[in-house]
Structures are given as C-alpha cells and as structure tokens.
Structure 1
Amino acid sequence: MSDHEYARVHVPDVESTPNPTREKKEVDEAVGASRFGFNVYTADPGERLPWGYHRHPDHEELFYVLAGELRVQTADGTEHLNAEDAFFVPENAPVSAEAVGDRPARVVAVGAPKDADDAIIEEECPVCGEVTGRTHDVAGDEYVLYCESCGAEVTRFD
C-alpha cells in the first residue's frame, strides 16, 4: 500500500465552472492539485478565454490547443494558434485568447504557481474610455463584468 494520494478523474465528468466559454473543466480542483492550475476549455468561435485581456503578476501560463483555432492577443501583437500548437505566457505579460474559425476550440490551460493565479484585467471601458479592471457579479446563470472606474456593465457571459 502506498502513502501517496493519487487521484484520477474522467474529464468529461468534471462539472463545468461559470466562465465566458461553453465549458471550463477545473481538472486541478477535481484531483486536488495544489501547486499548478490545469483547466480544459471548450470555446465556441467568438468566445474569449478566460475573461479578457489580463495578466498574472506572479504566475506563468501555457495554452495548448487540442482542436480548433485560437487568436491570442499580446503586448507584442497577435498570434494565431492551431491544433497541436502551444503558447507560453510569462508572468506579468498581458494576454487575451479567443476561439476563431468555424468550429469550437478545445484548449488546455496550465498555470503555476497555483496560489498566485490572481488575474488583473485591464481593458478600455466602452462607456467611459478608462483602461481599468473589472468587477463581476453573478446574475442567474450569467456572469456580468463591470468597469471598475465608472461601474458600467461591459460584458455579460451566459
């Protein structure tokens, strides 16, 4: 008998968590991982993952496209990722990803350290024009993002 605590899950059985994509499976939470994040997204064309143009001050990310296509916006420009492409995002580097093409994108997102995954969203508010973060609220089955500067609703995800 081992002293280790192994864990196994069947990813399709992991409950999807609220987010702006069709589906987000927090596999790290399902298996009890404590040092890295591991999420599997299914995003329909036009859906962003995760929330928008953001950065993690002390957290690295890696996106791996299993199927479909992603457009990734960075401070250095735009990258187009296809199935089997991986894209590394260093800590504190701004990034936004969106599913593009004619079919859903399936993407694995890995990040570490897990306890430093706080995201800072910095996007221009369409109402006041300020480049600010977002606050959020849950309205039924929808997540609503508001501008931190003026309080205007800027995005609604169902």
Structure 2
Amino acid sequence: MSGDGSDAGGAADEDGDGDDRDDGADRGYRHVAVDDVANTPNPTRAKRELDEAVGASLFGCNYYEADPGERVPWGFHRHPDHEELFYVIDGELAVETPGRTYRVGADEAFFVPAGAPNRAVAAGDEPCRFLAVGAPKDADGAVISEECPACGAEADREYDVEPRGEGADPDAEEYVLRCAACGAETDRFSG
C-alpha cells in the first residue's frame, strides 16, 4: 500500500479509515493480517487457519511456524478425499511418505494426493514457515495411522478439545489425542 491509502492497483481506502482490510466485505472480499489470526492448538509454534479467518468454503489454508523438530499436527495420516499442497516460505520441511522422505526447502512446494499417507516435521537448524493448502475443504477429515505406544495397535486417533490446565487462560484449549483401539492418551498439545 502506498502512503496515500491506495494499493499498487490504485484502489483507494473507500471508507477513509486508513485501512482497506474490510473494504468490499459485502462482496465477499476479505483481507487479514496473518499475525491477527488466532493461533489454533497444535504441536507447532503457530498454526493460523487462514481459510476460517476469511470465510473460505471450498479450500483449506493453514499458516504454520514450526521450530526444528516440531511436527505438523496429527502425525502420520491421510485425507481419503482431500488433496494437500505444502508451500515452504522459509526453512525446511521434511515430508515422510511410505516410500521415502522428501526435503522441501524455501520457495518449494510438495503435493500430497488424496488418500496418500504422510507426516511432516520442521527440518534443519532454522524455524520453518509454510502454508498447507487443501481441497475440497469439506473432505478434510484426517485418518491417523500410527502405532499406539500403550497397546501396540496400528490405530486411528480420536480427540477431545479440553480447557487448558489450572492457571491458564480460561479460554485456552488443548487437543487430547487418544488411541481409537484402547482409549489411551497418545498426545496432548495446545496453541
């Protein structure tokens, strides 16, 4: 945006508030600052659901910040009817598939076809910032296929959303994952 309240295309700040983010909202346009989108509970430093913030209904788009070694939520999983694309902004993402592990660096993208199992982790020595985009949005359900440390079964995970422990923000939540075979807690994470 230039100093006169217009963007590079010449569109002015029509409502005079010095900010064009809500201009055109009645036509469905949305403009958000990523840092203004609430962090969603997950095992990375940040997950911001941009699709939810702008009201997208046909595709999903999540922004992640992950420190080295942090995994992308849900672990080894697949989306039966949902394609995914990871775009690395900076850092490096290691995407593990049944056949091999792919190293995806800055300004690179990795496509995961519907039904294909994968898991990702921030690799290298620097934090990784990336986008995960998927479609169709209404088919986003993930099927986890990891061995349960308690019972040894290769099982899906069920989850509950619970309030965070004592002393935490009363509105803060965390995800609690449980083995679908035995009910044992397998993971817990918050934003």
User: Scaled by the length of structure 1, what TM-score is found?
Assistant: 0.93
Report the residue type matching 2:36 in the other structure.
D
Q: Give 2:182's match in structure 1, choosing from 150, 154, 158.
A: 150
Matches within 5 A, 1:2-81: 4-81=27-104
Unaligned runs of 5+ in 2: 1-23, 165-173
Shift in Å, 1:24: 0.7
Shift in Å, 1:50: 2.2
Q: Give 2:116's match in structure 1, choosing from 77, 87, 93.
A: 93
Unaligned runs of 5+ in 1: none
Report the residue type matching 1:144 in the other structure.
V
Once residues 25 and 55 of structure 2 are traced to their aligned partners in structure 1, the CA distance between those partners, rounded to angstroms, is 17
SS at match of 1:99: strand
Quickly say closer, same or farther: Cα 1:2–1:70, change in 2 above 3 A.
closer
User: Scaled by the length of structure 2, what TM-score is found?
Assistant: 0.78
Quickly say closer, same or farther: Cα 1:153–1:3, change in 2 above 3 A.
closer
Shift in Å, 1:139: 4.2
Query: Quick check: which one's strand share is greater?
Result: 1
Report the residue type matching 1:65 in the other structure.
V
Shift in Å, 1:144: 2.0
Q: Give 2:150's match in structure 1, choosing from 119, 127, 140.
A: 127
Q: Deviations over 1:16-50 (max 9, x none)?
A: 11112111111111111100001100111121112
Give RMSD over aligned pairs: 1.7
Quickly say closer, same or farther: Cα 1:6–1:79, change in 2 above 3 A.
same
Q: Which structure carries more relative contact order (alpha carbon 8 Å, separation 6+)?
A: 1
Runs of 4+ in 1 over 4 A off after TM superposition: none
Report the residue type matching 1:148 in the other structure.
A
2:138 paired with 1:138:
no
Once residues 22 and 45 of structure 1 are traced to their aligned partners in structure 2, the CA distance between those partners, rounded to angstroms, is 10
Identical counterparts, % of pairs: 61
Aligned length: 158
Quickly say closer, same or farther: Cα 1:2–1:26, change in 2 above 3 A.
closer
Report the residue type matching 1:54 in the other structure.
H
